[in-house]
């Protein structure tokens, strides 16, 4: 676990460094300083508010025991199994089966599931999915994922701005050749996507293992992952397509497999995840 945290810290530092590099391309030393200050400010904002921003982005509606009794009680039981406080529970009106967790710590966590996932999964499989999300909460992955999504989105926005204006100035001197600046604007979002991918993939395996332990049913989570993967391929999620930086928060990659997006999947292969869970089930048995 400590090794994962160390790797994640290094990767998050690399994202902030990308901010500085882009700032230098746009405005020299002063641009780099402003970009680093902006990255620091965004980290502070993301720490306190990014969970609510993501939930609003997906039009998630909070539910309780009276509005979604079976689902709410399931999350409450699994939270007790995990030794966690009861998180806020949300439902997203989307056909694609998917789910995610967010929040800066276990005391301020939220879990969200789509209406699609509730339709296509059995109760046992849904338990496995929500246990996976609670494992993210227990491992404190939710803070890392929301911060990385926020900063990666900002890098893409700044890159689009930079493409319009090219390199920056520092006094009377142009400090970066315009062609170099444009190359940086192209490369930085790709690098941010690769860093997000590295952060997410290692944590998905750990959450699968943790979810199987919380639900005490690795086979159910394996069956759920296989089913979600097959359904999600044919059902687009428009919000995720508009905000691809949030894809790494989901239990299964929500983005269409067409084009360049397929090269930057933030999730490990579903087949490998299922194989690991089935091996875990054989070990338990």
Please pick, among 94, 133, 204, 245, the residue that the annotation labels catalytic. Answer: 133
For the chain, the C-alpha Rg in angstroms (whole number) is 20
Instruction: Please tell me whether residue 86 adopts helix, strand or coil conformation.
Output: coil
How far, CA to CA in Å, does 201 sit from each of 79, 109, 222?
24, 21, 16
Active site residue 123: no
Residue of 14, 34, 16 whose CA lies nearest to 24: 34
From CA 133, how far away is CA 43, in angstroms rounded?
23
From CA 79, how far away is CA 61, in angstroms rounded?
20
Contacts of 277 (CB under 8 A, 6+ apart): 208, 212, 218, 219, 221, 222, 225
Angle CA 270–276–280, to nearest 5: 140
Structure-token pair, residue 198: 């590295």
CB atoms within 10 A of CB 52: 14
Give residue for tokens 């090269």: 263
Active site amino acids: 133
């Amino acid at each position: 676990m400590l090794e994962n945290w160390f790797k994640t810290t290094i990767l998050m530092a690399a994202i902030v460094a990308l901010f500085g590099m882009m700032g230098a391309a746009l405005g020299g030393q002063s641009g780099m300083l402003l970009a680093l200050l902006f990255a620091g400010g965004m980290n502070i904002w993301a720490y306190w508010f990014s969970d609510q921003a993501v939930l609003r982005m997906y039009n998630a509606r909070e539910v309780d025991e009276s509005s979604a009794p079976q689902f709410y009680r399931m999350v409450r039981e699994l939270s007790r199994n995990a030794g966690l406080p009861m998180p806020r529970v949300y439902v997203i009106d989307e056909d694609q089966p998917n789910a995610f967790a967010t929040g800066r710590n276990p005391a301020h966590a939220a879990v969200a599931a789509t209406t699609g996932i509730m339709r296509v999964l059995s109760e046992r499989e849904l338990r496995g999915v929500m246990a996976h999300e609670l494992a993210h909460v227990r491992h404190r992955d939710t803070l890392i994922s929301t911060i990385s999504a926020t900063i990666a989105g900002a890098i893409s926005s700044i890159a689009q701005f930079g493409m319009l204006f090219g390199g920056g100035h520092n006094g009377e001197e142009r400090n970066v050749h315009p062609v170099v600046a444009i190359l940086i604007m192209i490369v930085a979002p790709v690098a941010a996507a690769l860093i997000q991918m590295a952060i997410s993939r290692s944590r998905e395996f750990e959450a699968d293992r943790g979810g199987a332990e919380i639900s005490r049913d690795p086979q159910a989570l394996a069956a759920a992952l296989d089913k979600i993967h097959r359904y999600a391929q044919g059902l687009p999620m428009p919000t995720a397509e508009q905000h691809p930086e949030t894809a790494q928060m989901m239990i299964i990659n929500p983005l269409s497999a067409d084009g360049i997006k397929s090269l930057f999947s933030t999730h490990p292969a579903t087949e490998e995840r299922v194989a690991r869970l089935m091996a875990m089930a054989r070990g338990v048995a």
